[in-house]
């Protein structure tokens, strides 16, 4: 690893201690240690305002036409204490990185140039909270299918009428599928929306048109002039400036840039529209970014539908073997047109609500914009120029969307962001699975990362974890001569293929230069097999059994391990997730946590139940008060009351809800002073309190840290996995066997890897170490697994780790000592604290005024994690969930060396209990004959 420079390559300014470099294909801290940044997207809920999930039709159009609603409150509630609960949980899972989801609509919904400053202020408050918990953040300007009002998320409503579109007729013309109007507005049944059908909208008129106008309007729609600008410049300038205003405000906040917010992703999953389309009368033969499911019109058919003309189109089903044609379907808009009528604007083109002026001499409302550019004839329906979008109207050369249109947009976006955030890392995100273009160093300035997305497409669409899969990326990149060659049989082959595909994406970063790669989105659906894990099938036999989801998610995240050693942010964490509506957006269901998965009280011996009169019940667990505070609600009630419950008020009164402070003397003392609210006056939320029950205290929350991290979590063993946060040298192999809780890390260390200064901060002034997160989820002591943080230790029986016996409790160990005994962890420092960059909210009790009291382990505190460790060199010790490992760095002119560390749980693998235990089920013949993580032994 080259030595990190003391000055920024982007600005020439001296770097601050928290500065993160992007060099030698890695994120690197100011000491020269390789960083692995992993975490979650926060959050899918932020695609819409509070209470406006995609299935809600009431006031959908009316509110939008009036200027929309504020997104303040998404993704976290900062006023009731619940934000601390969620961030503490995410930090407790080991995450150190957040991809912060926001939309253009959230910033500029009131109209062109009118910014929601209340939302911006709220966002700054959320970012400060993230900073307090030690997270690094990169901002995600999110979009799907352009806008909420075209079936996705992203752009404000007013951008659609700006493009000459009447959004009220989108559904009738099937220009896009909108969840709340599915299948038709007058017979809407949003619960019936098929899985992933929203992504077929990329093959429909709305997205194809608007993205073409956004990226390439100057070339393909030169007559579309609004406020004296081409529609491309009009849309892009508003979008870029809205994000620039946010960057400026975050800069002016004074304590967030580079310390917390390290960079900005480019437009999420950009779409090329019709740019480069070969033949408007045909769809591509090869499966590309557009899913074939349901109706599948050609662009020519979509153009006719947009003008109200009935069309008979192909129909597809998607099964385990992929898409297959299933006859045809006639779509009849009955004369409804997607194009806005001339009467919606004045005779001279001024819009009465949004204020722009359209050039009516060149751009007439009421008719197709592409017909106005000579692409087709409306009266006959004949396509005049099938290859209109294939060649550049300016040069005549074949269109290269990424070079011709995406790259100039990225350069403009990056320049504006860096006016507000000079040191910003620019996260480069081209279209899904597309390779990035070469970008000049005067654009990247040594501060960039490649931001790719990866999903197991077969599992995502079929909602089933199959015993076979396919190398989708390899197929798209021409790795195979036929589809059959890409099929992978058996879990071992599937896992190997995922790792190879992620390795291909990582290799794409080399096109940019020696920059790191982060997988911006990766995840798996939790509503598999007809939502059987929710108890909706088989008489509830599989309720709470997420074993299939765990296998799927582990296989994907394992792809980021191995030789790839990738950074990633999983999709997603939604605080308002429900079993009924999933993430609240187009029936997607990928949230890593759900209030609907909080454990029922009858399965917890120390729980208490508070019944509510009537048919609904709310369940409240004294031990898990943090998890349940502000999350108690009526089952199946889509629009939650905004009134604060008394439990919420009690929790908010002691807003020191980080896991580090649970049970500390100061926290408990403050908790004892909380008012004892009367349940009699709050029947709406909690009903009456049974005799002998009491309000929970911080001491109760302290009693069960393992339960805190697992309650409500889905497939948490897959996502909360051991991995190195900071490495002296670089990780060359990461392996984790989820079934055995066995972790192995190999690092390569060269002379240049000696950390700069090689001295820690604060109380720890010794040499800097490699730091490995050791999750409680896998390695908690028996005492914690049983649900307590006090009392005697658990099972002390010795076990063997790679032939080395552990004879008792040790705080540390070394390669020389392990010939006789392996090291064993013990509580050191803060109960939940990590050993470096420990945020104030995780090491101290922070009240609502910002004052703090230091937290630490008392003299009688016992171990959190129960591990046996083997190292090839050096010595180690554990503090909380972080293992520090020291080893020698070779001297000058000495060849690089490799060191290995192996970790197992000393008392054996933690077995899921209660409803988390996998149910016994029938397996396929292949699953019975082949081991889970091995290749197929039949074929």
On whether both 589 and 665 belong to a single domain, the answer is: no
Residue 41: inside a domain? yes
pLDDT, one tens digit per residue, over 765-818 is 578 999 999 999 999 999 888 876 543 332 222 222 222 233 333 457 877 776
Tell me, yes or no, whether 168 and 77 share the same domain. yes
Cβ atoms of 235 and 159 within 8 Å: the answer is yes
Detail the DSSP E strand segments found in 704-823.
723-727, 730-737, 742-749, 770-773, 800-801, 804-805, 812-814
Our answer to whether residue 269 is catalytic in this structure is: yes
Q: What is the pLDDT of residues 847-860, one digit of tens each?
A: 222 222 222 233 33
Measured CA to CA in angstroms, residue 85 lies from 82, 700, 910 at distances of 5, 14, 24
In angstroms and rounded to an integer, the radius of gyration of the C-alpha atoms of the chain is: 28
Instruction: Return d(Cα 101, Cα 317) in angstroms, integer.
Output: 32
Domain stops at, among 678, 710, 742: 710
Segment among 342-346, 490-494, 631-635, 892-896 with least mean pLDDT = 631-635
What token pair was written down for 482?
Answer: 């036929």
In a domain? residue 935: no
Q: Are residues 682 and 640 in the same domain?
A: yes
- DSSP letter assigned to residue 689: P
Q: Which residue has the tokens 């073409």?
A: 212
* 292 inside domain: no
| Active-site pick, 108, 181, 491, 521 | 521
* Helix, coil or strand: residue 245: helix
What does the alpha-carbon distance between residue 890 and residue 897 come to, in Å, rounded to a whole number? 7
The one-character DSSP state at 4 is P
The answer to whether residues 792 and 817 belong to one domain is yes
Q: Please check whether residues 574 and 637 belong to one and the same domain.
A: no
d(CA 591, CA 612): 28
Residues facing 34 on adjacent strands = 28, 727
In the predicted structure, residue 824 carries a pLDDT above the cut 70: no
Of 925, 924, 916, the C-alpha closest to 542 is 916
Residues 362-370, mean pLDDT to the nearest whole number: 98
Asked whether residue 567 falls in the same domain as residue 630, the answer is: no
Q: Greater confidence, 917 or 899?
A: 899
Using CA atoms in the order 909, 914, 915, 920, what is the torsion angle rounded to 10 degrees? 60
Find how far residue 339's CA is from the centre of its chain.
35
d(CA 333, CA 172): 5
Distance CA 384, CA 375 (A): 5
Question: Domain check: are 460 and 580 in the same one?
Answer: yes
What is the rounded distance in angstroms from the CA atom of residue 346 to the CA atom of residue 604?
66
Give the integer Cα–Cα distance in Å for 527 and 195. 10
Q: Per-residue b/e over 315-353, b at no fewer than 16 CB within 10 Å?
A: ebebeeebeeeeeeeebebeebbbbbeeeebeeebebee
Alpha-carbon distance of 570 to 269, in angstroms, equals 15
Domain that holds residue 871: 722-827+862-908
More confident residue, 735 or 832: 735
- Lookup result for tokens 């960079």: 263
Looking at the structure, tell me whether residues 558 and 687 fall in a common domain. no
Domain count, the chain: 3
Question: Among 69, 105, 181, 269, which one carries the catalytic annotation?
Answer: 269
Confidence of residue 684 (pLDDT cuts 50, 70, 90): very low
Q: Both 677 and 747 in a single domain?
A: no
State whether 67 and 185 are in the same domain. yes
Both tokens of 566, joined, read 């990738």
- From 577, 593, 609, the end of a domain falls on 593
Which pLDDT belongs to residue 237? 98
Give the best-scoring range by mean pLDDT among 78-82, 534-538, 683-687, 832-836: 534-538
CATH at residue 41? 3.20.20.80
Domain check: are 71 and 42 in the same one? yes
Residue 230 DSSP SS3:
strand
Strands 567-570 and 517-521: parallel
Of the candidates 240, 255, 257, 253, which has an alpha carbon nearest to the alpha carbon of residue 421?
A: 257
If asked whether residues 663 and 650 sit together in one domain, one would say yes
Tell me whether residue 324 is in a domain: no
Q: What is the model's pTM?
A: 0.86
Would you call 832 helix, strand, or coil by DSSP? coil
Specify which residues 28 forms β-bridges with. 21, 34
Is residue 95, in this structure, part of any structural domain at all? yes
For residue 704, give every residue at least 6 positions away whose Cβ sits within 8 Å of its Cβ, in sequence order, or none.
623, 624, 784, 787, 788, 789
């Amino acid at each position: 690893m080259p030595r990190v420079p003391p000055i920024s390559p982007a600005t020439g300014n001296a770097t601050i201690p928290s500065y993160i470099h992007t060099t030698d294909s890695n994120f690197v801290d100011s000491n020269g240690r390789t960083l692995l940044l992993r975490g979650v997207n926060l959050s899918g809920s932020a695609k819409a305002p509070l209470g406006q999930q995609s299935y809600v039709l009431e006031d959908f159009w009316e509110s939008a036409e009036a200027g929309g609603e504020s997104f303040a409150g998404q993704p976290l509630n900062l006023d009731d204490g619940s934000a601390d609960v969620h961030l503490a949980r995410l930090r407790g899972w080991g995450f150190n990185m957040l991809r912060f989801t926001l939309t253009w609509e959230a910033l500029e919904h009131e109209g062109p140039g009118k910014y929601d400053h209340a939302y911006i202020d709220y966002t700054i408050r959320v970012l400060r909270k993230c900073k307090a918990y030690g997270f690094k953040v990169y901002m995600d300007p999110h979009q799907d299918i352009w806008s909420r009002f075209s079936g996705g998320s992203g752009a404000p409503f007013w951008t659609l009428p700006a493009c000459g579109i009447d959004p009220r007729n989108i559904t009738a013309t099937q220009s896009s599928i909108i969840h709340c109007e599915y299948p038709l507005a007058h017979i809407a049944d949003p619960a019936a929306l098929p899985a992933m059908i929203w992504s077929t909208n990329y093959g429909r008129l709305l997205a194809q048109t608007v993205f073409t106008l956004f990226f390439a309007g100057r070339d393909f729609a030169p007559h579309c002039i609004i406020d004296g600008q081409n529609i491309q410049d009009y849309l892009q300038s508003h979008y870029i400036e809205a994000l620039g205003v946010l960057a400026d405000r975050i800069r002016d906040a004074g304590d967030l840039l580079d310390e917390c917010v390290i960079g900005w992703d480019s437009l999420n999953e950009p779409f090329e529209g019709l740019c480069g389309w070969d033949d408007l009368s045909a769809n591509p033969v090869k499966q590309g970014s557009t899913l074939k499911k349901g109706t599948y019109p050609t662009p020519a058919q979509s153009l006719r539908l947009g003008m109200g003309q009935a069309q008979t189109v192909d129909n597809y089903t998607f099964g385990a073997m992929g898409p297959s044609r299933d006859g045809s379907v006639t779509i009849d808009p009955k004369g409804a047109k997607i194009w806005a009528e001339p009467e919606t604007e004045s005779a001279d083109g001024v819009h009465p609500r949004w204020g722009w002026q359209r050039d009516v001499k060149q751009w007439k409302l009421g008719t197709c914009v592409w017909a106005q550019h000579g692409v087709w004839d409306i009266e006959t329906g004949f396509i005049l120029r099938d290859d209109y979008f294939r060649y550049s109207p300016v040069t005549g050369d074949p269109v290269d969307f990424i070079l011709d249109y995406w790259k100039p947009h990225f350069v403009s976006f990056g320049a504006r962001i860096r006016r507000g955030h000079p040191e910003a890392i620019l996260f480069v995100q081209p279209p899904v699975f597309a390779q990035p273009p070469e970008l000049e160093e005067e654009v990247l300035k040594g501060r960039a990362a490649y931001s790719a997305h990866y999903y197991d497409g077969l599992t995502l669409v079929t909602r089933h974890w199959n015993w076979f899969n396919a190398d989708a990326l390899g197929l798209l990149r021409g790795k195979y001569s036929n589809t059959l060659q890409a099929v992978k049989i058996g879990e071992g082959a599937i896992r190997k293929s995922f790792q190879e595909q992620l390795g291909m994406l990582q290799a794409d970063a080399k096109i940019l230069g020696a920059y790191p790669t982060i997988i911006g989105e990766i995840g798996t659906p939790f509503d598999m097999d007809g939502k059987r894990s929710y108890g909706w099938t088989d008489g509830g036999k599989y309720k709470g059994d997420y074993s299939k989801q765990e296998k799927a998610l582990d296989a994907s995240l394992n792809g980021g391990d191995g030789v790839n050693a990738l950074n990633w942010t999983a999709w997603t964490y939604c605080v308002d997730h429900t079993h009924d509506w999933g993430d609240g957006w187009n029936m997607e269901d990928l949230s890593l946590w759900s209030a609907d998965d909080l454990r029922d009280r009858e399965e917890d011996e120390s729980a208490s139940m508070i019944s509510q009169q009537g048919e609904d019940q709310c369940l409240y667990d004294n031990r898990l008060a943090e998890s349940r505070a502000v999350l108690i609600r009526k089952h199946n009630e889509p629009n939650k009351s905004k009134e604060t419950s008394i439990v919420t008020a009690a929790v908010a009164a002691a807003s020191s809800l980080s896991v580090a402070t649970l049970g500390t003397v100061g926290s408990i003392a403050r908790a004892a002073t909380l008012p004892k609210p009367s349940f009699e006056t709050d029947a709406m939320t909690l009903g009456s309190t049974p005799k002998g029950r009491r309000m929970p205290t911080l001491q109760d929350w302290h009693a069960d840290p393992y339960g805190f991290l697992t309650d409500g979590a889905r497939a948490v063993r897959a996502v909360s996995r051991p991995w190195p946060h900071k490495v002296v040298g670089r990780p060359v192999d990461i392996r984790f066997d989820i079934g055995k809780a066995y972790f192995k890390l190999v690092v390569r260390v060269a002379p240049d890897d000696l950390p700069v200064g090689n001295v820690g901060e604060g109380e720890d002034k010794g040499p800097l170490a490699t730091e490995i997160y050791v999750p409680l989820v896998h390695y908690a002591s028996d005492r914690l697994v049983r649900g307590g943080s006090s009392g005697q230790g658990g099972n002390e029986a010795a076990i063997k780790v790679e032939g080395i016996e552990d004879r008792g409790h040790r705080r540390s160990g070394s390669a020389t000592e392990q010939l006789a005994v392996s090291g064993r962890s013990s509580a050191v420092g803060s109960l939940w604290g990590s050993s470096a960059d420990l945020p104030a909210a995780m090491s101290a009790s922070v009240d609502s005024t910002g004052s703090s009291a230091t937290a630490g382990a008392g003299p009688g505190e016992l171990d959190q994690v129960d591990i046996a460790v083997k190292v090839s060199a050096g010595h180690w010790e554990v503090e909380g969930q972080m293992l520090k490992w020291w080893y020698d760095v070779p001297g000058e002119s000495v060849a690089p060396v490799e060191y290995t560390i192996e970790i197992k749980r000393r008392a054996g693998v933690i077995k899921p209990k209660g409803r988390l235990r996998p149910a016994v089920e029938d397996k396929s013949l292949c699953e019975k004959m082949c081991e889970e993580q091995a290749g197929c032994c039949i074929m």
